[in-house]
Structure 1
Amino acid sequence: MFSKGACFLLIFTLWAIGSTRGQDSMLVSRTLDSARALPNDTGKVNWFIERGKAMSYYFDARKEENPFFQEAIALGLRLRYARGLTNVYNEIGTNKRNKSQYILAADYHEKAIKSAEETRDDRLIGLSLNNAGVDNRRMDQLQKAFEYHFRALHAAEKVNDVRNICVAINSIGNIELSTNKFTDAIGHFTKALALEEQSKNDLGVAINLGNIGYAYQGLGKIDLAIEFYKRSLAVNQRLKNNTGMAICYNSLGAAYQEKKDYAHAMDALQRALAVNDKVDDKVHMAESYLNIGKLLSRQGKHEEARAYMQRSVDLSLYWGFKSMLMEAYKALAADYKDSGDFKRSLEAQDTSLVYKDSILNESTAMVLAQTRAIYDVDRKDNQIKLLEHDKQLSEMRTKRNIVYTFSTAGFLLMLAIGGFFYIRHRNLEANKHTLQLELRSLRAQMNPHFIFNSLSSIHRFIWSNNQEEASDYLTKFSKLMRMILDNTQHTFISVNKEVESLRLYVDLERLRCNGVFEYNINVADNINDEEVMIPPMIIQPYVENAIWHGLVHKSGKGVLDISITANGRTLTCIVTDNGIGRKRALEIKQKKGETHRSMGMQVTEGRIDLIRKINNSRETNVTITDLEDESGKPAGTQVAIILPVEHIF
């Protein structure tokens, strides 16, 4: 553990940071430098995590990544300290979720689950699964969220972890509430309420009472809903929880309004407005103004209603609540329409749509930014793993070379002319090294080419589909992006990884093409797809060409077949389509004025040429065959890629 002198230095530095509330970045840097000098052990990982939690406000205020958490991850990966990695991934994921960065949060919490499973600690597993479930609920991926919370409940019940049992049950109830399964939701909320009461967790009691009220209101049992809202309100009042009280008053206002008891509804909403004066987040006050405006509008008091709606607009403009502005202008449009002022109604509706478009654009930009951040984080995390992987491969190759050395013992007599062979070998190695550098350069060109084409596809997909479909497409694309960027860091990858990324790519293209073609991917039984290696993205350009120049122009159902076979020392990859053929595709390109050749195919042909030179293999090549039917008409294209067989060891 830490020496006395080192501990004193850390304590003094941390006291200095605490006394200035984290204002001096130099003190943070000195603290990190002091900690890095200490022995690398699990205690140091835990110290980084605790210090990162204490300093979160400092880095959040500056919109910076928390370096203490990053140090904990780096050291945890080197030490293979699964418990520490679980804790830090959960901390970062929750921090990202609190900033509405749900994609990043889900990525970190999935890492936490994997690390927690290595610890075999059911409490940690349940906590991590619950966190991932909440992330997916926020992204409206309810089925996936339900699965995470159900697994969390099972893990927590094994060790009687009441806290995570309550979270899982309450979350499952909320999912059922979102899908209008109100009776099932009441059952789960009631069970969670009993556990919270046993644990004397008053906040949990208040939340579950309110949730039961929502469920009864969904069933149309308004009086029961009001009863539970009042019980929740009483607990929140005892806790002096202003936010909880505001939520309860708003819920009561909505319930009374549904009963057409407008006097009690107005009283509840006015009380919500009064409580909101004590709540820091002014979005609740803007919501209360809007709800009162809607209530007055429903009673035909249009002038008074608009006054409250305008207060909501003014407050939302000041604080930048775009979603609230969208709803407020939508309510104004409805009120103007009811009073016969159609011109102002149209103007308000147009303004509401402007804010809706702005929210959609921000959401799309946020998804792209989070996808890029996930790649950057994964790249950093994988550096240590890659070093370990390369070390293992190096050891395996060393053992193989020892066997080869013994097998060449019979050629010791040739040492007399070794000088000649050494010079010749050195020249060949220099030439081979040059070819490998050229191959690496060509392989690197595939990333920007593929990313450019994919982003273009996403752009068209977003403009031609609704927001939910575009978000689903973008989530799948981010998974493919990470896979491609990870695979192309290696000269060779296993066949199963290449097939996995290829299958995901074709699924996305098929989705974007509205299912105009079917596809099959077959790997021969004599191939061990985990040991046989293949250059990454060597097949994809030909698959892309088959889809966009052959199948999308075909009338009728298209079929794409991809097969990988091995024969001796050669690996054969065949891409076959029943499209319109190269001649017809060329005519279409000329009509559109497109004269350039596919960059992906051009780069891939260059890669295959270099592979042939490096391996001195005449068989390595690409052949393209135009297929014809019995009457001699074009019936598609077949591309055969022949490569030398490579193994992982």
Structure 2
Amino acid sequence: MQAVTVFRHFLIVCLISISVNIYAQDSTVIANRFTQLKSLKDDTAKVNALMREGRNNNKYYFNKDGENPFFQEAIIIAQKIHYPKALAEAYNDIGTAKRNKSEYILALDLHTRAYKNAEESKDLKTISFSLNNMGVDYRRLDDLENAFNCHLKALQVAEKIHDTRNICVATNSIGNIQLTAGKYKEAIKHFEEALALETKSGNKLGMAINLGNIGYGYQYLGQLDKAIDFYKRSLAVNIELENPTGMSICYTALGSAYQEKKDYNTAMKYLSQSLAVNHKVDDKIHTAENYLEIGKLLTEQRKFESAREYIKQALDLGEQYHFKSVLEDAFKVLADNYKASGNYQASLDNLNKSLLYKDSLVNEKSTTAFAQMQAIYEVDRKDNQIKILQHEQEVSQLRMKRNLAWIISLGGFLVMLIILGFFYLRHRNSQAKRLALQLELKALRSQMNPHFIFNSLSSIHRYIWSNNQEQASDYLTKFSKLMRMILENSQHTFVQLNNELDSLELYLDLEALRCNHKFEYSIRLSNNIHPEDILVPPLIIQPYVENAIWHGLVHLDGQGQLEIDISLEGKLLYCKVRDNGIGRKRAMEIKAQKARTHHSMGMTVTESRVDLIKKTNNVKETNVKIIDLYDSSGEAAGTEVIIVLPVEFVF
């Protein structure tokens, strides 16, 4: 695992060396150049020039442990002129500098800002680059899930535009995440994909990195011979590149692999070669870690005194360069050495020292995290100050445009008045049309009363001539009661359903008497109907009942049946009038034989009323449907009339 960590440090160094062109300049020259650029007009050319100088002098400000003023000024101008692509590039460069100082929280915040601005600029290459940077930050913070998601998104974006560089970085990073998560086969697959791309593009440094990573994957799988083969191939490329850091890491990896194989002589040979190369590497942490690896190897061989000499050299470097992590590991390795040799007190003393450095590192991380959060706050505060200045400029511009806005608003108001006037006139015409329909409906309703009275008086006349006076008197009493109900109902556009049914039932009693009970009738209501709460137009069912009796049932041989079913479905009332009479076809034949040309006025008026109700209420389901009924042999078996009306309620 220590070798993996070393290799990852090497990857970061290599990526920086690829992306940044560094050269030393005198501080006075740099300051003069900054002053010269700052005096230029605020535009994209100025921002781009600031970015170039910032990258050229990034190493200078990195060593001074200060902010790069070129990048800071570029951010201010880019925000002012709304240049999101440059903002993304600046935040990416500053974030990478912070990450190289192990300020991972601050780096993640800056790279997140870069990603948001890259999305706004819609530059896919910058979007992919920013996502890769965020992924590396998350990996440094041990947040592997978010790291994986960022690199996966970066890979998907890069593949759209065939951006080989970002495809390689994302693929390699996903492999490293899977390696850390213990998914070694998946890691090897991604490293092989990255290796193929690096080989195709001729990037030998990328080839060396991925060859080494594949070796780590096979070593974790226990396939040591394969791991050694890939380490040697990586070493060969690093030797060709004359890269001492890469050579050192490969020698250390080979030593670790041979140590697992218990080939201690070969392991010591490669670790010694790594130590020799480390003298050419500026970062002394590699030398310290190399001493520790040799110490572990000698301890495993039970050469305790020789091992302690190497471990103490690692301790000396750790104290000299303040490598607290090296000191923590070195005291832990020394404790293991003393324990293996049987000196338990010395082992306990060194273990306690290791724990002290571990606690110190935890405290140091907490302090660093707090400092980074403060730095994020300062960045936000500066951004807000810039936004406030931009807001003031925008307010000034809005004041200049206010008069134009007033004119546009006034014009819009006039247009709105015209539109409202149009709709008002249309609504008024609609209301007038509705009123005309209601007046026409009222006129038709008023025609029903004399029609029904005429038919009833005719019935009384026929009844008196065909029956005795006592029965005629009883009939006339019921008729007068029916007339009173009809006259009362005729004063209203709608009447309660129970009143309408009472008058209908009285009418049916009179007709049954007049026809010598030639038919029986029934009126049924569905369970969800409360007749006192429902309103219906008066005399809307009676004409169809009358038609069923006098054109269907009176000509029937045998007992007639008249069924009236009323049901409620939603906001529609269904009234079904069903008889078992002779049917419409036979009734028309009888009518023709009697040479009668009179058409039923009640039916005609009622059909017109239903049509007007449909138009007035704008309910398309309102209608009257007449169905001829037949028995199993195809003979006429009566008629069914279905009247559908919109529901009106009392409350």
Name the TM tier (shorter chain).
Answer: 0.5 to 0.7
What residue identity is the alignment partner of 2:25? R
- Contact persistence 2:118–2:127 (CA under 8 A): yes
* Pairing 1:128-527 to 2, within 5 Å after superposition: 128-389=130-391, 391=394
Match of 1:100 among 99, 102, 107: 102
From the CA coordinates, give the structure whose radius of gyration is larger.
Answer: 2
Residue deviations 1:308-361 (CA, integer Å, cap 9, x gap): 111111121111111011101001111111111111111101111111111111
The aligned amino acid for 1:151 is K
Farther off after superposition, 193-202 or 345-354: 345-354
The 1-side partners of 2:23 and 2:231 are apart by 43
Residue 259 of structure 1 aligns with an amino acid whose one-letter code is K
Partners of 1:365 and 1:20 in 2: CA distance? 32
Gaps of 5+ in 1: 1-17, 405-649
Equivalences for 1:553-564 in 2 at 5 Å? Answer: none
Q: Is the 8 A contact 2:24 2:57 kept in 1?
A: no
* Amino-acid identity (%): 53
Return the alpha-carbon distance in structure 2 between the equivalents of residues 119 and 212 of structure 1: 37
Rounded to whole Å, the distance in 2 between the matches of 1:81 and 1:367 is 31
Provide the C-alpha distance between the structure 2 equivalents of 1:220 and 1:19, rounded to a whole number of angstroms.
Answer: 45
Over 3 Å counting, the alpha-carbon distance change for 1:374 and 1:282 in structure 2 is same
**CA–CA separation in structure 2 for the residues paired with 1:157 and 1:19:** 34
Q: Which residue of 1 aligns with 2:469?
A: none
Give 3-state SS (helix, strand or coil) of 2:356's partner.
helix
Distance between the aligned counterparts of 2:85 and 2:95, measured in 1?
15
The CA deviation at 1:263 is: 1.1
CA offset digits 1:609-637 (Å, max 9, x no partner): xxxxxxxxxxxxxxxxxxxxxxxxxxxxx
- 1:20 Cα offset (Å): 8.1
Spell out, residue by residue over 1:28-86, the C-alpha distance to the aligned partner (whole angstroms, 9 max, x if none): 44333322222111000000111111112222222221111111000000010111111
Give runs of ≥4 in structure 1 deviating > 4 Å.
389-400
Q: Which residue of 2 aligns with 1:47?
A: 49
| Paired residue secondary structure (1:280) | coil
2:40 aligned residue: 38
2-structure distance, mates of 1:355, 1:20:
36
Match of 2:434 in 1: none
Distance 1:123 1:38 in 2: 29
- Asked if the contact 2:127/2:157 (under 8 Å) is kept, the reply is yes
Work out the number of aligned pairs and report it. Answer: 386
Query: Residue deviations 1:192-251, cap 9 Å, x none?
Result: 000000000000000000000000111111111111111111111111111001101111
Counterpart in the other structure of 1:23: 27
Where does residue 68 of structure 1 map in the other structure?
70
Aligned: 1:124 with 2:126? yes
CA distance in 2, matches of 1:152, 1:19: 31
SS in 1 for 2:27: coil
Structure 1 residues 313 and 45, CA gap change in structure 2 (3 angstroms):
same
CA contact (8 A) 1:262 1:295 kept: yes
Question: Separation in 1 of the partners of 2:205 and 2:23?
Answer: 32
Cα distance in 2, alignment partners of residues 386 and 147 from structure 1: 35
**Residues in 2 aligned to 1:303 and 1:112: alpha-carbon distance in whole angstroms:** 53
- The change in CA–CA distance for 1:20 and 1:175 in structure 2 (over 3 A counts) is closer
Q: Matches of 1:221 and 1:397 in 2, distance apart?
A: 76
User: In structure 1, how many angstroms separate the alpha carbons of the residues matched to 2:50 and 2:322?
Assistant: 36
Aligned mates of 1:76, 1:389 — CA distance in 2: 15
Shift of 1:403: 9.7
Q: 2:23 touches 2:57 (CA, 8 Å); kept in 1?
A: no
Structure 1 residues 236, 325: closer, same or farther in 2, change over 3 A? Answer: same
On the 8 A contact 2:138/2:144 being kept in 1, the answer is yes
Superposed CA deviations along residues 263-321 of structure 1, whole A, max 9, x for unmatched, are 11111111111111111111111111111111111111111111111111112111111
- Measure the CA separation in 1 of the matches of 2:322 and 2:357: 11
Give how far 1:389 is off: 4.3
Provide closer, same or farther for how the CA distance between residues 99 and 260 of structure 1 changes in structure 2, counting only shifts above 3 A.
same
CA contact (8 A) 1:22 1:55 kept: no
For 1:241 and 1:58, the matched residues in 2 are separated by 23
Alignment correspondent of 1:58: 60
Return the alpha-carbon distance in structure 2 between the equivalents of residues 122 and 262 of structure 1.
Answer: 51
Mean Cα deviation higher: 289-298 or 52-61: 52-61
Q: State the shift of 1:19 in Å.
A: 11
Please say if residues 22 and 58 of structure 1, whose CA atoms lie closer than 8 Å, have aligned partners that are also in contact.
no
Question: Judging changes above 3 Å, is the alpha-carbon distance between structure 1 residues 19 and 295 closer, same or farther for their aligned structure 2 residues?
Answer: closer
Q: Using the alignment, how far apart are the partners of 2:196 and 2:169 within structure 1?
A: 13
- The Cα shift of 1:261 comes to 1.1
Q: Does the CA contact (< 8 Å) of 2:168 and 2:194 recur in 1?
A: yes
- Match for 1:321: what amino acid? F
TM-score normalised by structure 1 residue count: 0.57
Letter in 2 for 1:176: Q
Q: Specify whether residues 56 and 225 from structure 1 end up closer, same or farther in structure 2 by C-alpha distance, changes over 3 A only.
A: same
* Long gaps (5+) in structure 2: 1-21, 411-651
Inter-partner Cα distance in structure 1 for 2:23 and 2:72? 24
Aligned to 2:608: none
Larger displacement relative to structure 2 (145-154 or 30-39): 30-39
